[in-house]
Amino acid sequence: MKTIMLSVLMCVLAAIGGYTLGKSRAKTQVVEKQVEVIKYVAQKRSKIQAEPNARRDELLELMREGKL
């Protein structure tokens, strides 16, 4: 009886440990991808803002191309 209870307890602990480990790794990957996207957008935005006095037509064209 003790061996059955011990093996059930070990299975439950292994399942909880595996779930926790998988969950922590998934969060790390998502955070890294979000940081990369934010850096890319910030670089593009600063490049566009550095250009002198963009007119309305130019801004609309950039919006249609998905660059703004």
- pLDDT tens per residue, range 15-65: 898 888 777 666 555 666 666 777 777 888 788 777 777 788 888 888 888
Helix (H), strand (E) at residue 64: helix 56-65
CA angle 20, 21, 27 (to 5 degrees): 90
pLDDT for residue 28: 59
Confidence check: pLDDT of 9 > 70: yes
7: domain range?
2-65
Domain count, the chain: 1
Helix (H), strand (E) at residue 16: helix 2-50
Which residues touch 67 (CB under 8 Å, ≥6 apart)?
Answer: 44, 48
Coil, strand or helix at 53: coil
* pTM for this entry: 0.36
**Amino acid letter at 36?**
E
